Amino acid sequence: MSDTSHDTPHSPGPSLWPIGLAVGVACLLLGLVISWIVAAIGAAIAIVCGFLWARDVTRGVRDEVPEIEPETRAVADEPAAPTPAAAAPAPLPTYSRSQFLEASTIGLGVAIGVVVTLPVLGFMVLPSFTNVNESEVDLGPLENFPEGQYVIATYLADPTAGEVSRSTSFVRNNGLTDAGEPSFSILYSHCVHLGCPVQPNGPIDEAAKKNVNGVELRPVLAQSFGCPCHGGLYDAEGNRRAGPPVRSLDRYTFSIKDGRLVLGELYAVGNVSGTGANATISRYPWSTPGTHVDGISAWLYPIVPSQVTG
């Protein structure tokens, strides 16, 4: 640093780039909640404004330092000693104390911002890239599912993981649609309030229980489904009818392969209109319990990655 007794006051003019940087960061964080497009726009604004702000702040440092002529004094009656011709060394850049403190403050602020922001972004974004893919589950022949009646299906979602992957779903054969295609309502057995297990409200026919290839099937006369933990109540289509749940019960996609019913991926349901094969389902990507999937309330929740059901 140079001698501050000869410093000129360093007072940079006002800049709007910090405001632009703050707006960009705000858009980035908001975009992580509602839309990747908004997040990308916010990131671009933050990068551009941050670069321009840094360029504006360091302008005085980057300016060319004027070359100062060395002071010479004449000595009486003594000739100046000859000096060999040599290139003059380039002058070293000098920085005032105010410039040093300003750069140090900005650098420290950026370091703190990185330390605080990166873990938050990591928890919000990384799960989307580290999720485990769901696997299909063969529930057995179609004749094991009588039309118009729910069956409690219990199975291992991942046989290699053992009992920790045991899962339950409620399967109803709706017959054929108007297009002549098979229709099934397959409800996930976890409450969409806090994930507690949901129970069918109706008698279970234990005498008709089947166990085929590790899949246990028990017919049940279920007119509704209830959560014993906090009083959540769902109708026969999985629509929320009472209690704290915020949406309808989650459902599975399905496929028919060689006359057998195969479970697919899990998805969230906003609402179900109609019944059975004629029902209209408001389908959304799967989300964790307690989160809205439709309406303005859905904007308040972060993006949730797909996960293994169990």
pLDDT, tens digit (0-9, with 9 covering 90-100), for 198-214: 999 989 988 889 888 88
Q: Which residues of 119-149 are buried (b: 16+ CB within 10 A; e: fewer)?
A: eeeeeeeeeeeeeeebeebbbbeeebbeeee
Pick out the chain residues at pLDDT < 50: 1, 5, 128-133, 305-310
> Is residue 82 domain-resident?
yes
Q: How far apart are CA 8 and CA 169, in angstroms?
A: 77
pLDDT digits over 241-295, tens only?
A: 998 998 999 999 999 999 899 999 999 998 999 888 888 899 988 888 888 888 7
For residues 141 and 121, membership in a common domain is answered with no
Residues 167 and 154 sit within 8 Å (Cβ to Cβ): yes
In this prediction, residue 150 carries a pLDDT of: 94
Q: Are residues 37 and 125 in the same domain?
A: yes
Containing domain of residue 230, as a range?
137-300
Structural domains of the chain, count: 2
The β-bridge partners of 215 are 212
Residue after which a domain boundary falls, among 99, 129, 159: 129
DSSP-assigned letter for residue 147: B
User: Taking the model in full, what pTM does it have?
Assistant: 0.57
Angle between helices 97-125 and 36-57 (to 10 degrees): 170
Quick one: 168 and 192 in the same domain?
A: yes
Would the CA dihedral through 108, 114, 116, 117 be positive or negative?
positive
**Tell me, what amino acid is at 73?**
R
pLDDT of residue 54: 79
Co-location of 171 and 245 in the same domain: yes
End-of-domain residue from the set 88, 112, 129: 129
List, in sequence order, the alpha helices (H) in the chain: 17-34, 36-57, 59-62, 97-125
pLDDT of residue 132: 42
**E strand or H helix at 24:** helix 17-34
The predicted pLDDT at position 309 comes to 42
Q: How far apart are CA 169 and CA 263, in angstroms?
A: 10
What is the predicted pLDDT for the residue at 67?
58
Q: For residues 66 and 201, state if they share a domain.
A: no
Same domain flag for 147 and 295: yes
Separation of alpha carbons 135 and 158, rounded Å: 7
In this structure, the answer to whether residues 106 and 24 fall within a common structural domain is yes
Of 129, 146, 165, at which residue does a domain stop? 129
